[in-house]
Amino acid sequence: MDTTRTKDIYTEEFLINMGPQHPSTHGVLSLELKLDGEIIRECTPHIGYLHRSMEKIAENRTYTQFIPFTDRLDYVASMNNNLGYVMAVEKLLNLEVSERAKYIRVIVAELNRIASHLIAVGTFAQDLGAFATPLFYCFREREKIIDIFDRICGNRLTYNYIRIGGVQFDLPKGIDEKIKEFIKYMRPKVDDYDNLLTYNAIFLARSKNIGVLPKDLAINYSVTGPSLRASGVKWDLRKDEPYLVYNKFEFDIPIGENGDSWDRYKIRIEEIRQSLRIVEQAIDALPGGEPAVKVGRIHKPAPSEAYFRTENPRGELGFYIVSDGSMYPYRLKIRAPSFSNLAVLPELVKGVKIADIVCVLGSFDVLMGEIDR
Amino acid sequence: MLSILDFIWVLIIGLIVLGFIAVSAMFLIWWERKVSAHIQSRLGPMRVGWHGVLQSVADTIKLLLKENIIPAGADKLVWWLAPFFAVVPSVMAFVVIPFGKNLIVKDLNVGILYIMAVSSVCVLGIFMAGWGSNNKYSLLGGMRAAAQIISYELPLILSMIIVSMQANSLSMQKIVAAQSGHWNILHPNMMLAFIVYIISATAEVNRVPFDIPEAESELVAGFHTEYSGMKFAMFFIGEYTNLFIVSAVATTLFFGGWLGPILPPVVWFLGKTYGIVFILMWVRWTFPRLRVDQLMGFAWKVLTPVSLFNLAITGWLLLK
Amino acid sequence: MRPDEISGVIKTKFPQAKEEAGTNNIIVPKESLLELAQYLKNPPLAFDNLHCITAVDRKEKMELVYILYSICERHGVTLKVYLTPEDLNVASLSALWKSANWLEREVYDLFGIIFSGHPDLRRILNPYDWKGYPLRKDYSNPELIPKPRL
Amino acid sequence: MAVIKMIKHTKNFVIGAWSLIKGLAVTMKYVFRPAVTLQYPTEKQPMSERFRGLVGLHPEKCIVCYQCMKMCPTACLAITHKQEDKKKTLETFKYNMELCCFCGMCAQVCPTGAIVMTDIYEISVYDRKKLDINLLDAKKYDEWTHTSVK
C-alpha cells in the first residue's frame, strides 16, 4: 500500500466495493475501486452474480425451446435477442423466411431498439444525478412501445415472438395506425430530450471529455454498437452486413467525434431518430403474405456449425451454434456485446473522480443479464 | 433572573416554533412529492387524505415505529449526536425570521450575522454523521459536505452583506422596513445578489444540482446511508427546515418580507417563501448534478468574484 | 476479401494450417497459433478485431474457436485449434488483442483451458472457488437439474 | 488577448444559462399536462387479447397428446392419463406456476386449443405450495380471479 508518512499525519489509498448492491451499477456488477480521496487509482470489475448458465441450459433444450431463454439475456431488448438467435438457427438450417416475416421482424426489432435506447438515456441521466425526471419521461415513451408489443405478441417484457421460420403471430388489425401514431408522438419528445439533457450546460460539463475511448482501443477491445460508433468508427451491421431487409431502407449511421461519454449518449439519441425512420418506411412497405413458414416443432440440422451476429441496441450479439445432428444444440455460445464493452471500463476510469466512473459506466449502457448469461 | 412567567412564555413560543417547523417540514415533503410527480407526469401520493396530504404524517408514524439500527463499529456518541446537530441550528435560525410586523421571536440587531453563524453549524451534524457511521460512502459524503458548505458560505455572506449595506442595518425587521418603498429585487445589483444568493443557498441546503454530499447515484446516500427510523427523519426535517429558512431569508432580504397590500402580512410572507421553495424544487427535478471539483470551481471562480464585484459596485452606488 | 481468398493467403504463408472440410475455417496446430495470429493482425489481412473466442468439447478433443473480423478491410475468418484432453495448454492472444483478456478468462472458467502468457487468468462467471469446468460434457454436479423429459 | 478570453467565457456562460432555462421550460411544460399513470389497484390497464398470463385449460377439449408438456421449456406441466380401451382420459394436469416463464409455447403448440393463456397476472401468494396447482380443479384460480380484469 502506498503511504506517504510525515510525522503524525499520513494518507493512504482506500478500497471501496461499489456493488453488487449499488444504485448505479446497472444490476449486480461489482467494482472494486482503489481510491485516493475521490480519485480512482484502480478499478477491478467482478461479474457473474447473475450467472444462470444459459449455455449449459441450451445444450439441454431443443432449438425452439431455447427461444424464451434468449429473452432473459438482454431483457430490455428481448426482440433483438430472439431475432439474433433465430437467425443463427435459420442459418444452420438454411431456412429462408417469407418477405412479410422479414418486414415484421425489422419493425419489432427497431421498435425494441428505441425502447432499449430510451432506458439507456434515462438511466444515464439518472446516473448523472438528474434525479428521476428524464427517466420517467423515457419510461413514459417506452410504455407506448410496450403497449404496441403487448398487442402484437402478448407480453410486455419477455416477448418470445420471433420463431424459427417467421414470427409467432401476424400483426393484429389496426396496429400499423398505432405505430404511425407512436412515431408522430415520439419525434417531438426526442427534441425535448435535447432541450432537457443533451445541450444542458451541467450535463455537458459532466459528460464531455469523460472516459474518452480512442478508435483503435475500441476496436482492439472489440467494443461494438453505439459505443464503437461514438469513437468515430462507421460500422453498423445493418449497413455493412445487411441482414433481413435492412438494405431496402434509407437511414444514416450517426458517428461520434471524441468517443467520450457525451458522444455515446448522443449516438443513442440519434439512433432513436434513425430507428423511427426505419419503422416508418417498413410500415409503409409492409408486403402481404404468410408471417411464417410452416416448420415442425423439432429441428434436426445436419452436423455443422453457424455463427451469426446481429446489431443489438448494445452492440453485436453473436450466436455460435454447433449441431451434432440431434434435436439439441451440441454447443451454443452467446457472444454478448456488453461483455466486451464492459471489459474496456478499467482502462477508461484510471485517474477519474468517483462521480465519473458512474458516468462512464452509464454511457456504455451495460446490462448484467447479458454479461453474466 | 428568569421568573416563572418568563419561563412559561419561552416554553410557549418554543412549542409554537417547533410545531410550525414540524408542520412546515411535513407540508414541504408532501409538496415536493407533488411537484416532482407533476413534473414527471405522475400524480404522486393520492391515498392518505385529500390528494395524499396526510402522507407525511403516515410516513412520520412509520419512521417513529421503526427499529433503530446502529452499525457495527460506529462511533456511538458522534453517531447519536449527529441528527441533533442537523436539526437544532435550523430551529435556532427561526428566532430572527420576521413573519409579520410583530410576529418575530426576537428581533436581534445582528439578525443576519446570527443566521449565518447558526446555519454554519449544520455542516457539523453532516460531518459527524459521515464520520460516525463507519461507512466509506458516508465518510466521503461528510467530507464533500464540509468542503462544499464552507466554500459556498463565502458568496452567500457576500450577497447578504450587499442587502445590509443598502438597509444600513443587520436587523431583519429594519431590512424589511427599508424595502417599504420598493423591493430590493428591483435594483439590478440586488438582482445579481439574489441570483448569487439563491445558487449558494441551493448548495447550502445540499439540493440538486449541488447535492454531492448525498449523491444518490455515486455515494448511495452519502452521510445518511446508515441512519434509519427517527434519526433519518430528523435529518429529513433538518433538510426541509433549512430549505424553508433559506427561502424565508431570501424573501426577507430581496422580496420585501411580509410587506404587501390587502392580505395579512403572514400570508404575504408565506406566499413569497413558498414561491421560492417552488423554484428550488423545480430546479431540483430538472438538472443533473455537478461534479465535486466543478462545484468548488464554480464557487471560487464564478460566484465569489461576481459577488465581490457586486459589492464594489453597490458601495460605489451608495457613496455616489 | 472473400473467405476462400483469405484461406488461400493463409495456406500459402503457413503450410501447416489446414482448411476444414466444407468450410473456409482454418485449422491451426497450437504451436503456430501465436505466429499466425501475429501475421493476421498486421496488414495485408489486418484483422484488428478479435470478436469471439469459444471452445467446443468434442469429448475426444477440445476444439478452440477464434472468430476474427477486420473492420478496416471488412472481412472475417474463423480459426480453430484442436487440443487433446491431456494437454489443455495454448498460447494467450491477449497481448495482441485486448478483448482476448476476458474472453480467454471465460473459456478458462467454463472449459479449463489454460492460456499461457495470460496476465490475469482467474475465473470470471463462476465464483472464484468453484470446482470443475461446467461446460465440459463430462461435468457432473449433484445440483444439476436433469433435462426436461421429451 | 485576455479580453477576448473574457468575452468568450462570458458568452459560454450565457449559452449555458440559456440551456438551463430551456431545460426548466421542458419540465414546466409537463406540470400542466395530465398525468399518464394509473392509480393501480383501483384503476387497471386492460390487457390485450393476446396477453399471456396464467395457463388455463379446457379439459373437455384435451386429447392427451402430451404436446404441451414436451414443448414446455421449463418443464412446469405434468400430465398423467388413464387408458380405457383406446380412449385416453386425463387424470391429473399439474401446473407448477413457480417454474412457468409465461412463454406461451404450450398454447401455441396445442392442436385443439385446450390450453389457453388467461389474463390473470396478479399471481402473488403467501404460500409457495399454492403455486403448484392442478388445472383440472374447478376452483383453481379462486386465489386470483377476484383481482383480475375480465
Q: Does C146 touch chain D (CB under 8 A)?
A: no
Mutation target to probe the A interface, by most A beta carbons within 10 A, among C2, C48, C51 is C51
Pairing of the two strands C89-91 and A39-46: unpaired
**Residue A362 parent element (H or E):** helix A354-364
Q: In B, which residues are within 8 Å of D37 by CB distance?
A: 41-43
Residues of D with a Cβ under 8 Å from any C Cβ are 69-70, 72-75
Cell triple for A183: 412515431
Q: Do D49 and A200 touch (CB under 8 A)?
A: no
The whole-angstrom distance between C58's CA and the closest CA on chain A is 9
Cell triple for D142: 379462486
Confidence at residue C147, expressed as pLDDT on a 0 to 100 scale? 65
Those residues of chain C that have pLDDT short of 70 are 146-150
Chains in contact with B via at least 3 Cβ–Cβ pairs below 8 Å: A, D
Q: What residues of chain A, 267 to 326, have a C-beta less than 8 Å from chain B?
A: none
Class of domain A51-372: mainly alpha
The whole-angstrom distance between A254's CA and the closest CA on chain B is 25
The whole-angstrom distance between C146's CA and the closest CA on chain D is 10
Number of domains in chain C: 1
Mutation target to probe the B interface, by most B beta carbons within 10 A, among A21, A128, A200 is A128
Residue with cell 443587520: B170
Chains in contact with A via at least 3 Cβ–Cβ pairs below 8 Å: B, C, D
The whole-angstrom distance between C50's CA and the closest CA on chain A is 6
Q: In A, which residues are within 8 Å of D21 by CB distance?
A: none
Confidence at residue A116, expressed as pLDDT on a 0 to 100 scale? 92
Q: In D, which residues are within 8 Å of C146 by CB distance?
A: none
Q: Does A185 touch chain B (CB under 8 A)?
A: no
Residue with cell 472489440: A222
Distances (CA, A) of A27 to A19, A74, D65: 9, 12, 42
| Residue D33 pLDDT exceeds 50 | yes
D92-104 mean pLDDT? 85
Q: Partners of B33 in the beta sheet?
A: none
Confidence at residue A117, expressed as pLDDT on a 0 to 100 scale? 92
Q: Do C98 and A220 touch (CB under 8 A)?
A: yes
Q: Residue A371 phi/psi, 5° resolution?
A: -70, -45
Which architecture, in CATH terms, is D55-145?
2-Layer Sandwich (3.30)
Q: Do D37 and B282 touch (CB under 8 A)?
A: no
Confidence at residue C150, expressed as pLDDT on a 0 to 100 scale? 55
Q: Do D74 and C148 touch (CB under 8 A)?
A: yes
Q: Do chains D and B touch (3 or more CB pairs under 8 A)?
A: yes
Mutation target to probe the A interface, by most A beta carbons within 10 A, among D77, D105, D149 is D105
Which residues constitute the domain of residue C22? 3-87
Q: In C, which residues are within 8 Å of A65 by CB distance?
A: 148
For chain C, give the percent of residues with pLDDT over 70: 96
Smallest Cα–Cα separation from B32: which of B243, B216, B272, B251? B243
Q: What residues of chain B, 195 to 234, have a C-beta less than 8 Å from chain A?
A: 208-209, 211-212, 215-220
Chains in contact with D via at least 3 Cβ–Cβ pairs below 8 Å: A, B, C
Q: Do D20 and B287 touch (CB under 8 A)?
A: yes
Q: Do A192 and D49 touch (CB under 8 A)?
A: no
CA B70, CA D86: separation in Å to the nearest integer? 71
Pairing of the two strands C75-83 and C26-28: parallel
Confidence at residue B115, expressed as pLDDT on a 0 to 100 scale? 87
Neighbours of A159 (CB within 10 A): 27
Neighbours of B296 (CB within 10 A): 17
pLDDT tens, N- to C-terminus, chain B (320 residues): 568 888 888 888 888 888 888 888 888 889 899 988 998 888 888 888 888 888 888 888 888 888 888 888 888 888 888 888 888 888 888 888 888 887 777 778 888 888 888 888 888 888 888 888 888 888 888 888 888 888 888 898 888 888 888 888 888 888 888 888 778 788 888 888 888 999 988 888 888 788 887 877 777 877 888 888 888 888 888 888 888 988 988 988 888 878 778 888 888 888 889 999 999 989 888 888 888 888 888 888 888 988 898 889 888 888 87
CA B227, CA D44: separation in Å to the nearest integer? 36
Q: Any idea where the domains of chain D sit in the sequence?
A: 1-36, 55-145
pTM of the model: 0.89
pLDDT in tens, C16-40: 878 777 778 888 888 888 888 888 8
Q: Do D27 and B43 touch (CB under 8 A)?
A: no
Distances (CA, A) of A165 to A88, A153, A168, A171, C133: 12, 16, 9, 16, 35
Closest chain A residue to D70, measured at CA: A65
Residue C31 lies in a domain: yes
Q: How many CB pairs under 8 A join A and C?
A: 79
What DSSP designation does B52 have?
Answer: G
Neighbours of A335 (CB within 10 A): 23
Amino acid at D2: A
Contact (Cβ atoms closer than 8 angstroms) between residue A108 and residue A310: no
Sequence-ordered alpha helix ranges (H) in chain C: 3-13, 33-41, 100-111
Cis amide bond preceding A329, omega within 30: no
CA A39, CA A32: separation in Å to the nearest integer? 13
Contact (Cβ atoms closer than 8 angstroms) between residue A190 and residue A273: yes
Q: pLDDT band at residue D143, thresholds of 50, 70 and 90?
A: low
The whole-angstrom distance between D85's CA and the closest CA on chain A is 29
Q: In C, which residues are within 8 Å of A221 by CB distance?
A: 98-99
Contact (Cβ atoms closer than 8 angstroms) between residue A64 and residue A283: no
First vs last Cα of chain B: how many Å apart? 49
Closest chain C residue to D75, measured at CA: C148
Concatenate the DSSP letters of all residues of A140-189 into one string.
Answer: HHHHHHHHHHHHHHS-SS----EETTEESSPPPTTHHHHHHHHHHHHHHH
Q: In A, which residues are within 8 Å of D101 by CB distance?
A: 68, 158
Q: Do C99 and A51 touch (CB under 8 A)?
A: no
Residue C148 lies in a domain: no
Q: Do A61 and D104 touch (CB under 8 A)?
A: no
CA A353, CA B291: separation in Å to the nearest integer? 8
| Residue D18 pLDDT exceeds 80 | yes
| Residue D148 pLDDT exceeds 50 | no
Those residues of chain A that have pLDDT short of 50 are 1-2
Q: Do chains D and A touch (3 or more CB pairs under 8 A)?
A: yes
Closest chain D residue to B195, measured at CA: D17
Q: What residues of chain D, 8 to 27, have a C-beta less than 8 Å from chain B?
A: 13, 20, 23-24, 26-27
Residue C70 lies in a domain: yes
Mutation target to probe the D interface, by most D beta carbons within 10 A, among A150, A161, A197 is A150
